[in-house]
Amino acid sequence: MPEETPPLTTRRFGWGLAAAAALALVLRLAYALLIARDMPAQGDTVLYHLLANTIADGHGYSQPLSGLTGHFEPTSAYPPLYPLFLSFFSLLGFDGLTDHRAISCVLGTTAVVLIGLLGRRIGGPRLGLLAAGIAAIYPQLVMVDGTVVTESLYAPVIALALLLAYRLIDRTTGGTVLRAALLGAAIGIATLTRSEGALLYALLVVPACWMATRGTGEAKAPPRARAWPAAKLALIAGVAMALVLTPWVIRNYVVQDRVVVLTSNSGLTFAATNCDQTYDGQYTGFAVHQCAFESPCMTIANEIDQADCLRDQAFDYVESRPGRAVVVAGVRVLRLWELYGYDDGIDYGAVYWGRDVTVAKLGLAMYVVLLLLAIPGLVALRRRRVPIWPLLSLAVLVSISAVLSFGFSRYRLAAEIPLTVLAAAGLDLLVAAWQRRRHDAHADAGPDPDGPRLPVAPR
């Protein structure tokens, strides 16, 4: 009878994770430098690239295209952290678009490593390696890093936030101040990367603080006794988050004489997603940028006043069609999860975000497989009494974001991180079942009919 597969040691897990990271880097560089490089660069790709170089040149967060006139206008239209990250490399001379593509691939590789660590914490070393392997080859994650968009940084930050949330929850004697503070700081970093990350305070931090005070077994604390300790941890996390956000808020107030907590570009998005073209017809629940670009608000020179005008225009439109707005919100969520109009998303990604159509279709096919694997994976983790809300909270986050903007697979990225882990849990079930059948088959075969094999004497 063969011996059972030995458990993964820390060293074997480390080597496996390193192999997954190497594979991830190779695939991302291949996509960024061989495929996406020949695709037209538009939209956020160009803006983040130029903004990074503007910061490196000493002009701070200025409107990227304003430099063409020699007069740099300060901006708060873009989340600050990703262009700031790229600007450090621009200072070192790596200021080309191809350079920024390659640098972003390192961020994606970091995300794969963190996903592997998250999987190990949730379900053990094998699940961790399976999660890292899935994340390494998943086209939806690979394409992000070749496009020079903020999701390249958002992916590892989300993975880190989930890892910190589980570290906080896993304290059987209650959460610690440091772990709560680290989680809050991570959410602050996520918010400076993509504005909707701020919602994770309510969706992830507060529930994690509550779960961290539950205790175990006979020491399990009643809800009333947990209220104050959980509130204290949530307050500490909130303070840490606020400290991370404060420099950006102060900068906006000093430079633009306005209080801008997140960004000022939401008005453009609202106007592009709340108009006749996005409420009826083929692009229902999607974005039509001409709705914003053709607005009279675009004649307003001041960035924040323009954003306020566009936002008011969008809100007035929603108020004029409240019933239809509810239907459109539902369609946006369906589009986000590619249950409706997925071909519009593929075409949109090819035109604006450097997403190769063939790779995008492969990503869609793998996404379906991962969803199917995630269902049994979710059940398995639940049976093991692993807290699953932190993983599900990201699905809620991106769905809320879609309701407020529009449905596009790029904006699902935060939920792709837990999806890889849940799919790995489902795949882990299949691997365990295969090992049991293999073990049982050898056991049923009985002893070797030729009898025990005697060792051969050395010559």
Provide DSSP, 421-440.
Answer: HHHHHHHHHHHHHHHHHHHH
Q: So what's the pLDDT on residue 303? A: 87
Does residue 367 have a pLDDT over 80? yes
Q: What is the mean pLDDT of residues 407-420?
A: 94
pLDDT at 2: 40
Q: What is the pTM of this model?
A: 0.91
Is it the case that residue 457 has pLDDT exceeding 60?
no
- Give 237's pLDDT tier (boundaries 50, 70, 90): very high
Question: Do residues 93 and 106 lie in contact, with contact meaning Cβ atoms separated by under 8 Å?
Answer: no
pLDDT (tens digit per residue) in 17-62: 999 999 999 999 999 999 888 777 777 888 899 999 999 999 999 8
SS3 (DSSP) at 146: coil
- Supply 137's token pair: 């080859």
SS3 call for 215: coil
| CA gap 290, 273 in Å, rounded | 10
Contact residues for 46 (Cβ-Cβ < 8 A; gap 6+): 64, 97
Cα 401 from Cα 412, distance rounded (Å) = 9
Q: Are 278 and 406 spatial neighbours (Cβ–Cβ below 8 Å)?
A: yes
The Cα–Cα gap between 270 and 275 comes to 9
Beta bridge partners of 74: 62
Check residue 1 and give its pLDDT.
Answer: 35
Mean per-residue pLDDT, 443-448: 59
Which 3 state secondary structure label does DSSP give 222? coil
CB half-sphere exposure, 22, CA atoms < 13 A: 6
DSSP 287: -
pLDDT of residue 265: 83
End-to-end C-alpha distance for the chain, whole angstroms: 28
Q: Tell me how far the alpha carbon of residue 300 is from its chain's centroid.
A: 34
* Tokens representing residue 70 in the block: 């020699």
Helices (H), 138-283: 139-145, 151-169, 177-193, 200, 206-212, 223-256, 266-273, 276-279
DSSP string, 88-157: HHHHTT--SHHHHHHHHHHHHHHHHHHHHHHHHHHH-HHHHHHHHHHHHH-HHHHHHHTTT-THHHHHHH
Average pLDDT over the chain, rounded to an integer: 89
* 235 vs 83: CA distance, rounded Å: 30
% of the chain surpassing 90 pLDDT: 68
Residue 167 has a pLDDT of: 94
Q: Say how far apart CA 115 and CA 132 lie, in whole Å.
A: 6
Task: Give CA separation, 80 vs 31, 262, 358, in Å.
Answer: 26, 9, 32
What burial class does residue 184 get, using C-beta atoms within 10 Å of its C-beta: 0-12 exposed, 13-18 middle, 19+ buried? buried
Longest alpha-carbon distance in the chain: 95
Please determine, for residue 440, whether its predicted confidence score (pLDDT) is greater than 80: no
Closest CA to 226 of 207, 204, 254, 247: 207
Mean pLDDT to the nearest integer, 196-202: 96
List, as one string, the DSSP characters of 300-347: --SHHHHHHHHHHHHHHHHHHSHHHHHHHHHHHHHHHTTSS-HHHHHH
Q: Whole-angstrom Cα distance, residue 26 to residue 112?
A: 12
Q: How far apart are CA 154 and CA 138, in angstroms?
A: 16
Q: What does the block give as tokens for 134?
A: 């899935």
**pLDDT at 174 (0 to 100):** 53
Token pair recorded at residue 266: 């939401």
Please report, for the chain, the start and end positions of each structural domain, with discontinuous segments joined by +: 10-263+321-439
Q: Check pLDDT > 70 for residue 331.
A: yes
Which pLDDT value is given to residue 221? 66
In this prediction, residue 450 carries a pLDDT of 54
Alpha-carbon torsion 143, 145, 148, 149, what sign? positive
Residues 91-138 have pLDDT tens digits of 999 999 999 999 999 999 999 999 999 999 999 999 999 999 999 999
Q: 153-184: per-residue pLDDT in tens? A: 999 999 999 999 999 998 655 558 899 999 99
Q: With 60 as the cut, is the pLDDT of residue 252 above it?
A: yes
**Sorting pLDDT into bands at 50, 70 and 90, what band is 4?**
very low
Region 146-159: mean pLDDT is 94
Q: pLDDT tens digit string along 256-304?
A: 888 888 888 888 899 999 999 999 999 999 999 999 999 999 999 888 8
What three-state secondary structure class fits 149? Answer: coil
